[in-house]
Amino acid sequence: MSEQHTEWLPPAAAPPPPHGSADANEALGRPERKPWYRRVGGALLVVGAVVVKFAAKLKALLFLLPKVKLLTTSATMLVSVAAYALFWGWSFAVGFVLLLFVHEMGHVIQLRREGIKASAPMFIPFLGAVVAAKSLGKDALAEARVGLAGPVLGSLGALAAAVIGAATGSEFWLALAFTGFFLNLFNLLPVVPLDGGRAMAAMAPWMWFAGFAGLVVLTFVFPNPIMLLILVVGGLATWQRWQQRKSGDPKQQAYYRVSPRNRALVAAVYVGLIAALAVGMDLTHVVRTLG
């Protein structure tokens, strides 16, 4: 994901007002700036309202996308390549979109192994890709398998780029591998709707709140519209899932019933992926020097 953040700055010719002085702002003809937490909070409320208002329409649209012949996988891939090429150049954009494709195909393959009909990936520039399916499996264990399948296959794709980079000494392939490792590691954050949140459904659903707290920190450290959108969607999804789990519905209780053995297996894959991806990022990190 790529992001930009633009901060409002006062006119250069105007002298700086005393800290926290509303009179000085008024005298200089500038609006009084609200504290940062109010500005961010206001932005979150606006984004949240938009997401809530159009959530049903967006969900319906996602299920209709695979039926629209114009928006084929190859067409949306080309659009994404063109968008990323504006910032990274054509070669890197093609490689990045292919890594996204490999990651998403991990979800598609596992969904079909679970007996669930899944669409081919549909790409959305700067947001990633989406796979349409009626469900993620019959229970939380199946959901975890579907969620982890993306990072597993995606990590293998990044590993292939790393091997090429190591064999040829090409910084291009090493940088592409680093990006792929980072992409898959980010998706392992333990918050829905990310892949890590799917794994937590079978491991420890309470970790959704820890993951959401981490997402809040990342949003403040790297503030941008994409992170705000993920934060709002993640917050709504986390609250909805937790309420369903605590509703006492026998179907919900059966859905989250996972044996200790299977819970340990999911945890082993999850932790092992995080460790492997961290090592991969360290080995493929390219230090750029000026001059």
Residue 20 falls inside a structural domain: no
**Parallel, antiparallel, or unpaired for β 128-130 and 122-124?**
antiparallel
Backbone angles phi, psi at 116, to 5 degrees: -110, 130
What's the CA gap between 117 and 141, in Å, rounded?
A: 18
Residue 127 falls inside a structural domain: yes
Please report where in the chains the tokens 């829905």 appear, as a residue: 192
Residue 26 falls inside a structural domain: no
The pLDDT, as a whole number, for residue 248 is 79
The pLDDT, as a whole number, for residue 35 is 52
**Of 211, 184, 206, 203, nearest in space to 267 by CA:** 203
Residue 40 falls inside a structural domain: yes
Task: State which amino acid sits at residue 79.
Answer: V
The pLDDT, as a whole number, for residue 266 is 95
The pLDDT, as a whole number, for residue 242 is 86
Cα 237 to Cα 198, 232, 247, distances in angstroms: 11, 9, 15
Instruction: Please list the pLDDT of the chain residue by residue as tens digits (291 residues).
Output: 333 322 322 223 333 333 344 444 444 454 455 554 444 445 444 444 444 444 444 444 445 544 544 457 888 899 999 999 999 999 999 999 999 999 999 999 999 999 998 888 888 888 888 888 888 889 999 999 999 999 999 999 999 999 999 999 999 999 999 999 999 999 999 988 899 999 999 998 888 888 888 888 888 888 888 788 888 888 898 888 888 888 878 888 899 999 999 999 999 999 999 999 999 999 998 776 544
Residue 215 falls inside a structural domain: yes
Backbone angles phi, psi at 200, to 5 degrees: -65, -25
The pLDDT, as a whole number, for residue 175 is 95
Q: Which domain holds residue 210?
A: 33-284
The pLDDT, as a whole number, for residue 113 is 92
Give the global pTM. 0.72
**Of 144, 249, 265, nearest in space to 205 by CA:** 144
What's the CA gap between 142 and 68, in Å, rounded?
A: 29
The pLDDT, as a whole number, for residue 244 is 85
Residue 16 falls inside a structural domain: no
Torsion of CA 230, 185, 100, 262, to 10 degrees: -100
Residue 220 falls inside a structural domain: yes
Domain count, the chain: 1
**Of 33, 103, 39, nearest in space to 273 by CA:** 103
The pLDDT, as a whole number, for residue 220 is 87
Residue 231 falls inside a structural domain: yes
